[in-house]
Amino acid sequence: MKKKAVILEGTSYNHDDLSWATLETICDLKIYQHTTQDQVLERSKGFEIVITNKMVFTDEMMNQLPELKYIGVGATGYNVIDLKAAKAHGIIVSNIPAYSTDSVAQLTFAHILNIYSQVGLHNELINQGEWQKRGEFSFIQGSIFELANKKIGIIGYGSIGQAVAAIAHAFKMQVCVYSSKKASDLPSWVTKMSLDSLFSYCDIISLHCPMTPETEKMVSYSRLVKMKSSSILINTSRGGLIDEPALAQALNNQLLYAYAADVMTHEPPTKENPLLQARNCYLTPHIGWATKEARARLITILSNNIQSYINGNPINVVN
């Protein structure tokens, strides 16, 4: 008999452009396209395997789910699960490592290039008839810049940080990193620096570290004041790494040139979030991981994780 499994947030992974066939072959699968937090407990009852993305699982909830033996987090981050409680309840928790590396690195540079080349702005001006109005073969609104020889500071040198570094190197940028890795273990074209030195030295700061108690609000006002007024900050990692009110203040006070992010502390943000009205703030709605290729890899790894659990040899276990 197949083990019973439920997917709580189907549209997080599959926009009707991919297939669940492999999972349906190995599990008795139930799929909910959308689930709210207050529906999680009821929808998880009776299932041995629960697949989730952003839904929180607490010790209290696990107490009420005696059949639950496996939580498959359909993402790399797993901070939504109380891992200590899961271990105490004998529940295995797995994640999906490194499936979106190239996609997130690509979006990181999409944001950088948008700011440095002002692609979005000029497209908008053309749509407004500005090119025809000016009557010249070319026009430039504001300033545009080259990436070559600019200094990029990468905070976190895991798989995504390394991918971003490789792209930056191809653009002939000077690559600096803040990392726990030894300087001798880094490529010859990468310079290891302290965190504060990175903020004061680099033209671009890009965040690629996990969200932990130690990294929460690591980008504080005291660090932002160290940045050059021409520098930009990129966040495709986690919104909580930023003190958002402090950043909005820094942007409006022109302590840095621009901020671009694919993540926010609360998603979606409340209308009161000061970044929504901040100067030179460019936001995307957490899409870095969501290319079709990355989602296909996610579903493949998820299926392999669950097949391995069923076979008695769970992989990518995080607790």
pLDDT digits (tens, 9 = 90+) for 90-107: 999 999 999 999 999 999
Say if residue 131 is in the same domain as residue 43.
no
pLDDT (0 to 100) of residue 288: 96
pLDDT (0 to 100) of residue 211: 86
Residue 36 vs residue 210, higher pLDDT: 36
Question: Residue 15 catalytic?
Answer: no
pLDDT (0 to 100) of residue 172: 98
Residue 156 scores a pLDDT above 90: yes
Say if residue 121 is in the same domain as residue 267.
yes
CA distance 24 to 15: 17
- List phi, psi (to 5°) of 134: -80, -25
**Using 50, 70 and 90 to split pLDDT, how confident is the model at 248?**
very high
8, part of any domain: yes
65, part of any domain: yes
pLDDT (0 to 100) of residue 13: 93
Structural contact between residues 237 and 209, judged by C-beta atoms closer than 8 angstroms: yes
225, part of any domain: yes
> Model's pTM, two decimal places?
0.91
Domain with residue 66: its CATH number is 3.40.50.720
180, part of any domain: yes
CA distance 64 to 241: 33
Which contiguous run of DSSP H or E holds residue 195?
A: helix 195-201
Q: How many folded domains does the chain comprise?
A: 2
Q: Name the active-site residue from 42, 67, 124, 267.
A: 267
Q: What is the mean pLDDT of residues 197-201?
A: 97
Say if residue 135 is in the same domain as residue 247.
yes
Domain that residue 298 falls in: 3-99+292-310
pLDDT (0 to 100) of residue 79: 87
CA distance 279 to 115: 13
Give per-residue pLDDT as tens, 262-302. Answer: 999 999 999 999 999 999 999 999 999 999 999 999 999 99
Average pLDDT value over all residues in the chain:
97
**Using 50, 70 and 90 to split pLDDT, how confident is the model at 1?**
confident
Question: Residue 208 catalytic?
Answer: no
Question: Residue 223 catalytic?
Answer: no
Q: What is the mean pLDDT of residues 71-97?
A: 95
pLDDT (0 to 100) of residue 77: 86
Query: Residue 247's closest CA among 207, 274, 228, 268?
Result: 274
Token pair for 252: 């409006």
Q: Name the active-site residue from 223, 238, 295, 297.
A: 238
Q: What percent of the chain has pLDDT over 70?
A: 100
Say if residue 154 is in the same domain as residue 184.
yes
pLDDT (0 to 100) of residue 155: 98
